[in-house]
Structure 1
Amino acid sequence: MSQTMGRAARFLPTLAIYSLVIIVALGLAVWRYSNTAEGGRTSDRAQSEARNVAGARAGGANTKPFFSLSTGRTYASDDRARLWVDYRNVNELDFRVYRVNDPVEFFKGLDDPHRMGEDERRAVAAARRQKPSLLERLRAFKSWFNTSVKTYVRGQLRRESRRAFNAKFRADDETGDRLPLNVADYARVPLLNPDQLVSSWRQRLAPLEDEYDRRMVSLGKREPGVYLVEAIGANDLRAYTVAVVTDLTMISKTTRDGEVMIYAVNRKTGAPRAGVNVEVVKGRRALASGATDRSGILKAGIDKKANTGDRANTPPAESGEEADDAEASPDSYLIMARERDNFAISDLDSFYFGGGEGDSDNSLIGYIYTDRPVYRPAQKIYFKGVLRRRGDEGYEMIGARSVNVSVEDPNGGKIFERVLPLSPRGTFSGEVETAAEAPLGNYRVIAQISEQTASSYFEVEEYKKPEYKVQVTATQKFVPTGAEAKFSVEARYFFGAPVADAEVKYYVYRSRHYHAWLYGGGEDDADGFGTNESTEEDDEWGSYGYATSEMVREGEGTLDERGRMSVTFQVPEAGENDSWDYSYRLEAQVTDASRRTMQGSASFTGTRGQYVAYAAPERYVYTKGDTAKIAVKAGDYEGRAVTTKVTLRFVEQHYEKVKRKTEDGYEYDDYERRERELEKSAEVMTDAAGMASYDYYVPVSGYIYVNAVVAGEGG
C-alpha cells in the first residue's frame, strides 16, 4: 500500500506538468485562433473582393451585403422549377425548401401574394416558438466548436489557394456549388414546421457580371404543390419566395356587377378539370367558393356591399401592422383553385368588378352644355348641367341643394361666379353675357360641390366676312427640271376692284410627287396642278407629301395697280440619285391697307422627262433561285399609255452597322444603307396599253430594288 502511494506521489508532479502544458497549449491555440479569425475575416474579404470584382464594382463604395429571391412563373410537374437570386457581396447562401400543407390558408395570411418579407415571415410563423431549445443550443455549440477547429486546421494548412481554385474553375458546376446543410449549423428555428422541410443546402455564389445581372438556382423536379423557399445569409439576413409546381391552370372572367367565372383546365393537355375546389378571397375573408362542373367552369357572385369595411373588421391580431405598412392593401381579390396537390392562384384588382371598397370615391360626374358651341363677343351664353356621383350601384343622386358655378375666360379670369340652386334631379342652369371686347378662345364652365368639380367648354370667336380673294395660278402643269416656271398672284375685292399696292409674301415648297395613275388610279385622281387651291379647301393634301414638304424659296413683293404680281421660279436640276419627281407649291399671303391678310396657293410638277415608268414584282418574298415576275407600266405625265423601251436595273440593298458619336462624345450604334447594282439588267418594250412583264432569276438572298428607266427620257 505504501509503495503504491509512493509511486502515485512520484507521478503526480509529472501529471501536473503535462496538464499545465496541455492547458497552455489550448490557451495558446484559442489565442491564436482569435487572432487568425480576425485575420481570416480580412483574408475572406480579400477573397470576396477577388471573387466578386464585378459585384463590388456594381455596388460602389457600399459593401453592405444584399440578396433577394424571385420567381416569375409557375411550373409543371415535369418542369425543373427554378428561382432567381439577385445579390451583392454575398459568397454563399443557405437554402431551405418547405412544402406548404394548406396553400389557401397560407396565401390568406399574406398581405401581398407577390412579396414575401419580414411581416409575412412573422405572420406565417406566428404559431411557432422563436427561442431555440436547450438541445438546439447544445447542437449549435457543438457545431460552433467543430467549425472553429476545422477553420483553425485549414488555416494552418493554407487551404485558401485550393478554395480559390475551386471557386474559379468549378463555379458553373451546380453540384459543386452545393454543400449539405446541417439544420444545427445555425441556432435558429425553421420558418415552418421542420416536418415540412423537404430539402436544404448551402449554395456557393459566383460573382455577377454587373449590377443588372442575376443568377438562376434550380430547385429540380418537384411533386405538385406550393413550396416556400427561404435563403439565409450572413448576419441572419433572410429572403423568401414562393414556387408553385402544378399541372392545373385557370382563366377568370369578371363583370362589373360582381359576377366571376372560372375555367380550370389541365395545363399540359388543355382538358377541362371537374371537381376543382375554387375560393375567392379578399383580404382574409372568403367571398365565394365552389367546385367546377364537368366543363371545368364555376360561376359565382361577389357581394361587394357585404365586403365593405373588411379592414375595419379585421381582428387586431391580423391587422396590427397595417398602420406601419401603407402599401399593404386589401382591395385586391385572390382566386385560388385546388385539386389535391395541384394549386393555382390569380389576383384581380377591384376595378375588374366595376369598383369596390377602394374605387367608390363618390367622385362628381357632370354633363354641362351650352345652347351652341361658339359665340361672338357681346352675346349671351345659356348653359345647363346635370350632376351625379359615382357609387357602388353606378350613378347616384347628389343630395346637395346648391352648386357653385363659375365661368373662366381663356386667360383664367372669372367672368361669372354664383351659387345656383340644384334641383332634386341634380340639374342647374344659368346665363352669362360676354363683353364686347371679350378675349377670343376657349371658355370653361365649372361646377363645384365641396372640393369636387365638373366642367365643360365653349368658344368665343369673332368672324369677319373676307373682303377680297387671292388667286394664285401656275402657267404650266408640268415643267422640266432646270427650266423656268411662272406663278401669277392676283387679288380682287368681292365688289370687283383690284387690291392695288398690297404687300405680298410668298413661299415655295417642294414635296415628292406621286403619279396616281401608276398605282391604279385614273385621271380623276391626278393632282390639280395649275389650279387655284385656295378655292378648293379639300385639296390641301391632294398632292400627297405636302405634310413632309420643305421650303426651297421665299420672297416679298407688291401688287401693281391691277392687283397682280408675277413670280419666276427656276426648277432645280434633278439629282443623280433622284428616282422620283417633285411637286412645287407657291403659297402667297396678301395684306391690304386695312392689314387684313388672305392667302392662296398653286402648284406644278417638275418633270425629268416625257414619260414615266413603274415596275413592281408579282409578290414581295422570293427564295434565292426563284423566278420573279416583274410587271412594268409606262405612260406620260397626263396618264396616257405609251409604247416605249424601259430598262430594268436590279440593285441589292443592305444595311451595315456603324459607330457614331454625339457632340458630347457619347457613342451609339447606327446603320448605313449600302447599294450594289447587280450585273444583269434587262430591257422590255411596253405594248399599246403601256404594259410589259419580265421574268427575273433571283441570284442572291436579301433585299433587291428594281429601278425602271425610260431610255433617253428619264424614269
Structure 2
Amino acid sequence: MTTEAALAVRRLGSSQPVPLTVAWDETGQNVVITPTVRLALDARYLFTVAETARAADGGGMTDGYSWSFRTVGEPSTHNLVPAPATVQAEFSSVFKAAFVSPMAAETVLNRIIIEPDPPEQAEWWVSYDGRTFGFAGLKPSTEYQVHFLPGMEDVWGNVISGERQYSFTTAGLRPYLYIRDKGAPALVSQQGPQRLYLTMANVPRVHLSLYQLTPEQFSLRYTDVNAEPVNGELLRQWTVAPGLAQDTPGIRYFLLRLAGGEPLPTGFYRVVVDSPDHPAASSTQDTLDFFVATTNQIIKSSASQSLIWATDLVTGEPVAGLPIRLFDQGMKLLATGQTDSSGLVTFEELPPLESYRESRIALAGEADGDYRGLAYSHYSYELYPNGVGIDTDFLYQTGQPLVYLYSDRPVYRPGQPVAFKGIMRIDNDMAYELPGPGSVVATVRYFGQDISRQVLRLSATGSFTGSLTLPADALPGTYTLFVRPMGSAATIGNLAFSVAAYQKPTFSVTLHNEQPDRLQGDNGTVTVQADYYAGGSLNLAEVTWHLDASEQPFLPPEPYRDYSFWAGEGRPGYWRWRWRGRYVYPTMLAFGSAVTNEQGQAILDIPIRLEQFNADQLLTLQVNVTDFAGRTVTSRAVLRAHQSELYPGVRPESYVVAVASPVGLDLVTLDMAGQPLPEQALRVELFRVERHSVRTFDEFGRAYWETTSEEVLVGE
C-alpha cells in the first residue's frame, strides 16, 4: 500500500473521505495535502495516517497518526465596541468591529457605514491578522447608527450576504480640570502678566484659592516627597465661569491678583483650583506652587561648590550687585554673597553633599521678605548636561582616593610571578593631591575566590608595589586585582590580567605593506617576512592567507570632518545626502597560500575587487606562517580600498532654510589620502526626496503600510 493511500481526511461523523491531491518535495520527507473540494464551514475534521504507510526503503510505522481540526465559521462579527444598544459608562472615541475570521479589507472598509459620519481626519486601521477594524473619532454624547452592508468577504471568499445594523450612544466627557505647564517650582515675573492657564472640560465653574507660603513651606514640597503640603496664609478665594460648551475641551487663563486687584509682589505662593460642581472628583482638583520674581537664576553645584548666575526677567541682562543667600534643602543658611558685573557669584568650600539627592537653594534678596529670585540645584527645567554631551557623575564626592594600576605584562603562565604597581591620588574635583601615610589592601580574585591578599604601605609619593607567584595548577582565565584603602570596604581600583597555558613563539612574522591606500581594480603586493628570534630567516615555511572586507566610509582629516563624502548607490565620485546606520558583516574577498624563500620572504599578490560593494572597504589581511614543527604565528595588515581616486564633499551653510530662500553649499575635493585636489570640475544636482505611504494588502487581505521614496531633480 502506498503512503498516499494511507492518508485520509474525514469529517467527524461521516465515513466519506475528502478527495485530496498530494505533492511531495524533493527530499521525499515533506508532503503538501490539498482537498480538491471546499470543506464545510465551522466543522470538525480528522486527518489520519494509517500504519500501512511505508518509507521509500520499505520501513513501516508502528502506530498510525491522527490530528483533528476545525474549519473557520461563517464570516460574521463577534465583538463590537461600543456594544449594541448600550450607553458608554465612560467616553472613548474608539470604534472597533471584530470578525470571527480574517477578512479581505477591501471588501469591508467601504461597507461599514456610520451615522453621523466620523470626522475626515479619522483613519481606519486593520489589525495584522485581518480580524479587527477600527478608528478613533467618535464624538461624546452622540447617538450613532452603524450599518454593515452585504458583500463583505473573508480571505477564503466566503461572503456575508445579509445586512446588519445597530446603535449605541457615547458618554459625555469626564469633567477634568488641570493647570497647564506646571513647573517645579513655577516662576512668574513680577513685571509681566501673572496668568494661570487651565485646561478643562465640562466644568461650569472654577474655584480658585490663593495662599502665601514661607520659604520653608515652599521648599518642603520639592525637597521631601513624603511631606504633607501646607497651604500657608489664605490671601484670596474667588469663582469664575470658563464659558465653555458642554463636551468641548478648552484652555482658559485667569489673572492672579490680590483681593484689591493689585499684581502679586515677589514671594512664594500656592494656588489651588477645583470645581464646586464636582467637589469629590480628583480629576477637577489641581495645585501649583509658584514664585514671583524679578530675576531669573541658574545654579550649578558640585559636592562643595555652587555657582549662581542671575539675569533680569524682562531684559535678560545680567544683574550686578544682587545679594544672594545660599541654603541647604532644610533652609539652613550656608553662605551669602553678591553677584559681579556678569551676574555671577561663586560659593567655595561648602559643607559637602552627602547624597546626590540633596539640593541647594539660592535666594536673591538681603533678608526675609526680600525675595527677588530663586533657584534649586535639583531643578533644571528639563535641561541636563547629558543632553548636550557633557558627562556627569551625580554620585561624585570630592576628597576621595583613586588609584592607577598596572602589571609587568598582561598574560602569565601558571607558576609564574606577577608584579604590579599602583599610584594613589586624592581626587579633589580634578585637582589630584598626594595621600597621607597609610596602607592599601590588594586582593587577587578568580571567579569569587581569593588567590592572594596583601597589605602594602604607601610611599612618600603615594605609590605601592606588590607581587605574587601564581600556583602551578592555576586555572586559565581572567584574574582581577582589587585595591581598597586599609580600613575601608570601598574598592578604589582594579586591574585584570590573564593566565593561559601558552608557548612562547620561536619566530616572528612581519608584513610589509608600502601602499596602505589602494584603488578599486588595482593589484597590490604585500611582503611576508619570517625570522627566528634567535637569528636567521625561516625558509620553506607554509604560508596561508585570507583577505576580509568590511565597510568603512571615507573618513576625511579633521579640517573636513563637517563635510559629507558618502558616495551613495555604489557610484564612485558622487556625493549625496543620506545616512546609513547599518552594520555589514565582513566578507572574505580572497585567500591563498605560499612558501617562504631562503630569505624567509613570501610575496603575496592581493587583488582589490570592490564590484560587489557600494562603499569603500577596510581590508584586513591575515597571514598564518607554520614552521616545520607545526607551530603557527599569525600577523595582520590593514589596507584601505577606495571606490574613487577623488572624493567630493559638501557642507551646507544651513541645514534648515525658509521656503524660496537661497542656500549656500561649500564644496571640496580630496584624494584617497584626504589631501585637497584643486581645480576639479564638479557637476551639482539638487534632488527633492518625496516619500509616499500607501496602505496596501497582502495575499490574505491584511492591510499594511508601504513607504517608498522618489527623488525629483529640482536643479543643477
Of structures 1 and 2, the larger Rg is shown by: 1
TM-score by length of 2: 0.48
- Higher helix fraction: Structure 1 or Structure 2? 1
Greater relative contact order: 1 or 2 (C-alpha under 8 angstroms, separation 6 or more)?
1
TM-score by length of 1: 0.48
